[in-house]
Structure 1
Amino acid sequence: MRKLPAKLASQLYGAAELIAERGLDGTKIEDIAEVTGIPKATIYYHLDGKNAVLEFLLGDLLDLIAGAVGVAVATEDDARTRLKAAVAAQLGVMLEHPYLCRALVGDLGRATRLPDLAVALRTAFYEPIEQLMADGVRDGSLRQVPDPGIVAASVFGAITVTGLGVAVEGPSTDPRRDAARLSESICMFIFDGLAMSRPGMPPGDATNGTT
């Protein structure tokens, strides 16, 4: 995919609501051209059809998430505090861009098969979260887990599904407040889980009694 001029990239955001409403299969290039004001020939010059339009939009969403998460984790706080900030940061981006999120919902299967997005997702979220888990073991704020990659994917899934659910309901009137509220519940689940702690065992270390 060609690198898009800034003006063209900005115009393409107009396609997000259209794809969110109709799904990619129900959207034609002519429709995208009409809603964005970009000539069809220009779209085809820079992008290989409507699949590439979706890939650009979702890639840009991941870039925004990467930036927000990067800022959230680049502090002197302990890893647990930074992880909480990363959760709120991703939710904030998603709630500020509900149509991009809804476009993702409508074509989630297609999006997960785009290799460039898989790489972008790992860079945007998985790697920073895995690094936070390693930092948390060192600073004592998080416990060691057998497979940090699976945990990072699970955390991303919890945030994403929650954010998508809210985005599908419609634009938030106060994305930051809603992100803070949702992240509180997600972090409670991440850190404390659902099981009751046994006597003398700190929250987050509860088991079913087996070893």
Structure 2
Amino acid sequence: MGQKIGPGRKELMNKNQPKDMDKKRRLFEAAARLFAEKGFEKTTVDEIAEAAEVAKGTVYYHFKGKEELFLFLVEEGMAILMRRIAATLKNGMDCRVSLKKLIQVQLEFFAEYWDVCRIVLAEAWGTSTRQEKLQELLNEYYAIVGRIMEQGIRERVIRPQDKEVLCTALFGMTVLVALHFLQKSGPVDWARIEEQLETLFFRGVVIDTGNGKLL
């Protein structure tokens, strides 16, 4: 896993994309960086346009205003995460393998899109509209991850716990740990962090098979 490589480096960047999409990508990156650095309220549309190297009118061509741009950041960020999860999980996959892959994918996403994650944690609960949007997006996450938890409970691999609590714990555990280490100086040993998170989650919810192994 890499260090802070910034928002939108893969999914939002395409050499063959139309000019309008390229400008929207640049607005995404500029707004994510500025909102994370200065906060939503202190960031102006002029600053976003300047950082994205577009005219101020371009911002309003794509978005009604700063609030709509913020909601786009949250929605697009979660959409990227969901696409990565969907591409990683396969039908019939052992639920323990699925959980390991979920932790890995989420850590990679949070490291790559760390500005977006900081914005969500700091600003997404500010208004009822933001709260509703974030909850709507998280419900999509809970639906997919919840099916893995249900599978594990049926197969007697996971203790019969509330699946929403399990999903929220998995999401919160990975995002907060990732952001904690991303804000520290120096290299991050992602392999060690991933292993420790797996151990914490598995030992907490996975039934011990008696052989001393997680898988």
- TM (norm. structure 1) is 0.77
Read off the aligned partner of 1:22 and give its amino acid letter: K
Read off the aligned partner of 2:24 and give its amino acid letter: A
Q: Following the alignment from structure 1 to structure 2, what is the Cα–Cα distance between the partners of residues 17 and 112?
A: 24
Match of 2:133 in 1: 116
Q: Assess, with a 3 A threshold, how the Cα gap between structure 1 residues 159 and 140 changes in structure 2: closer, same or farther.
A: same
Match of 1:182 in 2: 193
Whether the 8 Å contact between 1:78 and 1:139 is mirrored in structure 2 is no
Q: What percent identity do the matched residue pairs reach? A: 24
Match of 1:191 in 2: 202
Higher relative contact order (CA 8 A, sep 6+): 2
Whether the 8 Å contact between 2:49 and 2:56 is mirrored in structure 1 is yes
Q: Following the alignment from structure 1 to structure 2, what is the Cα–Cα distance between the partners of residues 31 and 65?
A: 27
Deviation (angstroms), 1:5: 4.4
- Structure 1 runs (4+) deviating above 6 angstroms are none
Provide the aligned length of Structure 1 versus Structure 2. Answer: 188
Q: Following the alignment from structure 1 to structure 2, what is the Cα–Cα distance between the partners of residues 113 and 173?
A: 37
In structure 2, runs of 5+ residues without a counterpart are 1-18, 210-215
In structure 1, runs of 5+ residues without a counterpart are 195-200, 204-211
Read off the aligned partner of 1:181 and give its amino acid letter: R
Match of 1:57 in 2: 73
Q: 1:144 aligned to 2:150?
A: no
Deviation (angstroms), 1:148: 1.0
Equivalent positions of 1:51-200 (< 5 A) are 51-110=67-126, 113-114=129-130, 115-123=132-140, 125-145=141-161, 147-169=162-184, 178=190, 180-193=191-204
Q: 1:20 aligned to 2:36?
A: yes
Query: Deviation per CA, 1:76-120, whole angstroms, max 9, x where unpaired?
Result: 431011011111101101101222223334424337851223212
CA RMSD of aligned residues (A): 2.7
Query: Deviation per CA, 1:104-147, whole angstroms, max 9, x where unpaired?
Result: 34424337851223212221x211111001111233332322x2
Q: Assess, with a 3 A threshold, how the Cα gap between structure 1 residues 181 and 70 changes in structure 2: closer, same or farther.
A: farther
Whether the 8 Å contact between 1:62 and 1:120 is mirrored in structure 2 is yes
Query: Deviation per CA, 1:142-179, whole angstroms, max 9, x where unpaired?
Result: 2322x211221122111121122233336x867xx62x
Q: Following the alignment from structure 2 to structure 1, what is the Cα–Cα distance between the partners of residues 59 and 198?
A: 41
Read off the aligned partner of 2:107 and give its amino acid letter: L
Read off the aligned partner of 1:120 and give its amino acid letter: L
For 1:110, what is the secondary structure of its paired residue?
coil
